Amino acid sequence: MSRQAEKERAERAETGSHERVSPYVVMASCGISPKKALGQNFLSDLTVVKKIVSAAGVEKSDIVLEIGPGLGIMTGILADRAGYVAAVEIDRDLAPALDSVMSGRDNIEIIYGDIMKVNVGELTERLRREHPGLTRVKVVANLPYYITSPIIMMLLEQYSETFSSLTFMVQKEVAERLVSRPGEPEYGAITLAVAYRADAEICFTVPSSCFVPRPKVDSAVVNLNIYKIRPVEPSDPAHMFRLIRASFAQRRKMLVNALSNAAYLSVGKSEVAGALESIGLNPAARGEELSVAQFAALSGILNKQPPGN
């Protein structure tokens, strides 16, 4: 057995799966080929798809927003388990494949457009209105890698109260960044954006052999369960996130320097040092050491503006 075949066999054993579909057969029958620029790495392992849908805890009382349905392999399984599925796909060339997934099902709609331009608020409001019996709205997506962070930030910053959970397949290193802890090398502004709003966990990793075409890196499924009541509530979240932005813009710098260098914060070094000490932190601390609760406390002391300004 070749080394590559052996590796693929080991990877399949890792996912416990041999239930495969062939995206190339579907693409050939629709006369299409994958577009690298749109991050089109299609899942070819049905067991992994089912595991993602299970990790998202999708039930008949749920509306699911899927981002990037691709050839529809996950869309069909989502529709089998959810009450209703709305999927936003940028590539109209995939319509023949998606039409065939929709045929015989009455609980899928495809919206052709760029998720960064779709009005997600209006869309979810309409879905709730049209399906009053369905109680929760969840996001489930195998995200296109070229735009992963912007999509996650947009959903968190603008719509976290709209969704009960967000379940994403992302590159493994991105998943690690989303769930990391203060002091870990992957810890950053996006980690804090997640930690403020959601309980995040990596559910499982997925080897690159489960995709067609095969990407260069492995992936992981991450679940963000949105808090109904946030454990940390700063008096002015916008100010806290300005502090976080300044802290990670110069992440190797001590906070006294990183924050006093950010003109928009209007704070001096000694003020920052005093604030850090007053919450029990070393005045030489760096932003990457602080939890969301500590950023909230620091913001409470350093904020000179009324909330929201």
The single-letter DSSP state of residue 138 is E
Residue of 89, 167, 221, 254 interacting with ligand SAM (CB under 6 A): 89
Chain CA centroid to CA 269, Å: 35
Q: Name which of 220 and 246 has its Cβ closer to ligand SAM.
A: 220
What is the C-alpha to C-alpha distance for residues 295 and 239, in angstroms, rounded to an integer? 10
Does residue number 69 form part of the binding site for ligand SAM (CB under 6 A)?
Answer: yes
Instruction: Please give the angle made by the CA atoms of 226, 296 and 225, to the nearest 5 degrees.
Output: 10
Residues contacting ligand SAM: total by CB under 6 A: 23
Does residue number 287 form part of the binding site for ligand SAM (CB under 6 A)?
Answer: no
**Residues 137/140/143/147 CA torsion (nearest 10 deg):** 10
Chain CA centroid to CA 114, Å: 16
What is the C-alpha to C-alpha distance for residues 74 and 95, in angstroms, rounded to an integer? 15
What's the residue count for the chain?
Answer: 309
Q: Are 66 and 43 in contact (CB under 8 A)?
A: no
Does residue number 48 form part of the binding site for ligand SAM (CB under 6 A)?
Answer: no
The CA radius of gyration of the chain, in Å to the nearest whole number, is 22
Nearest to 197 by CA among 236, 153, 235: 153
Stretch that binds ligand SAM, among 64-72, 131-139, 254-262, 280-288 (CB under 6 A): 64-72
Q: Name which of 23 and 234 has its Cβ closer to ligand SAM.
A: 23
Does residue number 114 form part of the binding site for ligand SAM (CB under 6 A)?
Answer: yes
Does residue number 85 form part of the binding site for ligand SAM (CB under 6 A)?
Answer: no
Does residue number 207 form part of the binding site for ligand SAM (CB under 6 A)?
Answer: no
Does residue number 62 form part of the binding site for ligand SAM (CB under 6 A)?
Answer: no
Q: Name which of 72 and 234 has its Cβ closer to ligand SAM.
A: 72
Residue of 10, 13, 28, 116 interacting with ligand SAM (CB under 6 A): 116
Residues 123-142 that bind ligand SAM (CB under 6 A): 142
Beta bridge partners of 205: 220
Cβ of 40: how many Cβ atoms within 10 Å? 22
Count CA atoms within 13 Å of residue 113 on its CB side.
12
Stretch that binds ligand SAM, among 65-73, 180-188, 190-198, 245-253 (CB under 6 A): 65-73
Beta bridge partners of 63: 84, 137
Taking the complex as a whole, the smallest distance from the CB of residue 87 to ligand SAM amounts, in Å, to 8
Residue of 67, 140, 258, 259 interacting with ligand SAM (CB under 6 A): 67
Does residue number 99 form part of the binding site for ligand SAM (CB under 6 A)?
Answer: no
**The one-letter amino acid at 88:** V
Residue of 15, 27, 51, 68 interacting with ligand SAM (CB under 6 A): 68
Does residue number 178 form part of the binding site for ligand SAM (CB under 6 A)?
Answer: no
What pairing do the DSSP bridges indicate for beta strands 42-43 and 136-142?
Answer: unpaired
Residue of 46, 55, 64, 73 interacting with ligand SAM (CB under 6 A): 73
Binding residues vs ligand SAM (CB under 6 A): 38-43, 67-71, 73-74, 88-91, 114-116, 142, 144, 147
